[in-house]
C-alpha cells in the first residue's frame, strides 16, 4: 500500500506518494489548481494524516520551504531510485546541483555527466523525473535559452523559473 501527502501552495496543490517500510518517496506531483485533480493524478494511495510519519513530514516541510522561496537539498536517502539507471541518477544529481534561481542547458548537464552529446538523453531523463521540485528539472533549459518542454507545461516551468529568479534577487 502506498500513501500520499498533499500540500497547499501559492502555485496550487502539490503532493507526493511514498511507501512506509522502508520509507521511500515514490514520486512528487507538480502543482494542480484544485485538490481533486491532484488526487486523481496521485491515483490509488491512502492519505496519511499530518504529523503521523516523521519522514513524510520532513518531505512536506522541504516542499513547503521551496514554495516559500527557500533553496532545498533533495533528501536522496528517502527517494526511491532503484528503478533508475546509474546514468539517469547522475542526470538527477547534476540537475539538483543547479543553484536556486539559475538555469543550465540540457547540453551543459550532458557535459557534466561526461556525455557531451547525450543532451537528448538528459531531456528524456528529466521528462520522466519522478521527483520534480525536489530535483528541480524546471531549471534545465534549451541551449538557445528557450524553456524547452516540461511535465507541468511550459507556463508552469516559466512561473517556477520566474519565482526563483525573483527570490534570488531579494536575497
Contact at 8 Å (CB) between 107 and 123? no
Q: Which neighbouring-strand residues pair with 47?
A: 4
What is d(CA 151, CA 129) in angstroms, rounded to the nearest whole number? 9
Choose, from 30, 56, 137, 160, the residue flagged as catalytic. Answer: 137
* pLDDT for residue 51 is more than 60: no
Q: How confident is the model at residue 146 (pLDDT cuts 50, 70, 90)?
A: very high
Average pLDDT, integer, range 97-115: 97
What is d(CA 128, CA 75) in angstroms, rounded to the nearest whole number? 18
For residue 169, the model assigns a pLDDT of 63
Average pLDDT, integer, range 86-110: 97
Of 139, 126, 5, 24, the C-alpha closest to 64 is 5
Lowest-confidence range among 21-25, 64-68, 164-168? 164-168
Residue 137 falls in the annotated catalytic set: yes
For residue 134, the model assigns a pLDDT of 98
Strands 46-47 and 104-105: unpaired
Q: Domains of the chain, with CATH numbers?
A: 3-77 (3.30.160), 81-170 (1.10.10.10)
What is d(CA 122, CA 15) in angstroms, rounded to the nearest whole number? 25
What is d(CA 121, CA 80) in angstroms, rounded to the nearest whole number? 21
Amino acid at each position: 500500500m502506498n500513501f500520499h501527502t498533499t500540500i497547499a501552495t501559492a502555485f496550487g496543490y502539490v503532493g507526493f506518494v511514498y511507501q512506509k517500510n522502508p520509507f521511500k518517496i515514490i514520486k512528487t506531483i507538480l502543482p494542480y489548481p484544485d485538490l481533486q485533480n491532484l488526487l486523481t493524478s496521485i491515483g490509488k494511495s491512502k492519505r496519511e494524516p499530518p504529523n503521523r510519519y516523521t519522514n513524510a513530514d520532513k518531505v512536506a516541510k522541504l516542499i513547503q520551504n521551496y514554495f516559500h522561496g527557500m533553496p532545498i537539498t533533495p533528501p536522496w536517502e528517502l527517494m526511491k531510485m532503484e528503478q533508475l539507471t546509474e546514468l539517469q541518477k547522475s542526470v538527477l544529481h547534476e540537475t539538483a546541483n543547479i543553484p536556486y534561481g539559475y538555469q543550465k542547458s540540457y547540453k551543459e548537464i550532458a557535459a557534466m555527466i561526461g556525455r557531451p552529446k547525450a543532451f537528448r538523453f538528459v531531456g528524456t531523463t528529466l521528462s520522466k523525473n519522478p521527483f520534480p521540485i525536489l530535483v528541480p528539472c524546471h531549471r534545465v533549459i534549451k541551449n538557445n535559452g528557450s524553456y524547452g518542454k516540461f511535465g507541468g507545461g511550459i507556463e508552469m516551468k516559466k512561473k517556477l523559473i520566474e519565482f526563483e529568479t525573483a527570490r534570488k534577487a531579494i536575497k
